[in-house]
A and B are shown apart, each in its own frame.
Chain A
Amino acid sequence: MSELRELPELVIVCERLRAEIGCDFVGLALQNESGPDVRWHYASGNLNDKYKRITVRFGKGIAGKIISSGSPMMITNFPNSIIGKVTDYPINLAEKLVATYAVPLFFSGIPKGVLLIGKREEYFFAEEEQEKMAESAQALEQLIKEHLF
């Protein structure tokens, strides 16, 4: 699944989203084809390659919570007002993200991926931006389905 980052259509969707919202980071995490591990398969605007080594913990951090709950989540001023410990949010720490908004990617009705955008400053993602995220998530679901299944 590592070649997902080389899928041109996927890169276009993510880059367009980053440009339209004007965010610093876009990341895509997906559950592995076999086994329960969820890993970051694509990132844009990243400061380093730590994301490639991070395995998302189920129920922890923004991506882990989205996979376990299936609902979008926003953090506007990390590390203030977060649930749990700072270390439960490794992607925020690794990429110095202060504001993040993430949505689940559903496959066969089950959340198996996360699309995340982030800014390195305090920010509230407006409704219009949240809608753009939902559209991009849908497009990515379709692309990934075609590519993997």
Chain B
Amino acid sequence: MDSLKTNPNVCTYIIDSQEEEIKRIAHELHEGVGQNLYSILTGLQFLATGEQDSSKKSYMSEMNLLIEKTIQEIRLLSVELHPPALTTLGLLPAMKSYIRCYTSTFGIIVELESSGEGKLITEKQRIAVFRVCQEALTNIAKYADTAIVKMNFFWKETELKITIRDFGKGFQPEEFQGNEPSSGLAAMKERMLLIGGKCVISSNIGEGTSIEISLPLSN
């Protein structure tokens, strides 16, 4: 019996399916659960205006706050899963929106600069590049011990180059072979390879880590 050969397209298929599912859940949270909660909130606010009893009014106000917190968390969760800006506005606005959320979650400042004229890239490429940047920033929050990150987008005629530099403690890449951080780094490289790009990670102890992502652009 012949065994089924490994097909590199399978990886792409699995990733695409996962992304579709993530997008569906994010949309459902934002447009479904989030909207319903918002309707409950406005209903409660309407009821509160007609309430004379001060203790009931105060209780309603606390419920208001609790619903507001829940709506906020649903929105953040949805944006974390799949930022709507990635589909509607593009990679850079989605990155800016994610960075705002990242700074308020981890307290790490990301200085983002973009040079050159932004080019149109496919949704698949946008999602892959976004996920690689997201993974890089998450690794920084987990391991780098830094308060500032510099991120640069260079839009060239035939290439998009993104550099992410932290100024943290750094690591010896060869010492992490087979460990969890290394799996994350390998996944970042693999994900870029699947869309025809590259991801180069360099680091030294005490000197921080630098990640360079490049994606060829067709004219």
Contacts and interface: CB of A to CB of B under 8 A. Distances in A.
Interface of A: 31, 35-37, 48-55, 57-60, 86-87, 90, 93-94, 96, 108, 110
B147 A48 contact: yes
Contact of A59 (B73, B103, B107, B108): B73
Contacts of B69: 36, 58
Interface in B129-153: 138, 141-142, 145, 147
Interface of B: 58, 62, 65, 68-70, 72-73, 76, 103-109, 138, 141-142, 145, 147
A87 B138 CA distance: 8
Tell me what chain B mostly uses at the interface: helix, strand, loop, or mixed: helix
A60 B109 CA distance: 21
A124 B65 CA distance: 34
Nearest to A79: B142
Nearest to B104: A55
Nearest to A51: B107
Given A31-B65, A90-B105, A94-B107, 15 more contacts: A36-B69, A48-B147, A49-B107, A50-B107, A52-B107, A53-B104, A54-B105, A54-B106, A55-B105, A57-B73, A57-B105, A58-B70, A87-B105, A93-B106, A110-B62
